[in-house]
Amino acid sequence: MAEGYCVKCKAKQEIKDGKEVTMKNGRKAMKGSCPKCGTGMYRILGK
């Protein structure tokens, strides 16, 4: 799974229930939640 930054925990976490989505500009991103606090996480992936 992808790793992202949780703003609530202020640390890098593994993205739980991550789904790959496509943004409006056509770039890919990973959307999921933090395994510790449940806050939504979002990571922009490469092209």
Confirm if 38 and 23 have CB atoms less than 8 A apart: no
Instruction: Show me where the domains of the chain are located.
Output: 3-44
Confirm if 38 and 1 have CB atoms less than 8 A apart: no
Output the pLDDT for position 16.
94
Alpha-carbon gap, residue 31 to 43, rounded angstroms = 7
Q: Enumerate residues 6+ apart whose C-beta is below 8 A from 27.
A: 44, 45, 47
Q: What is the mean pLDDT of residues 1-26?
A: 93
Q: What is the pLDDT of residues 21-43, one digit of tens each?
A: 999 999 999 999 999 999 999 99
Name residue 22's amino acid: T
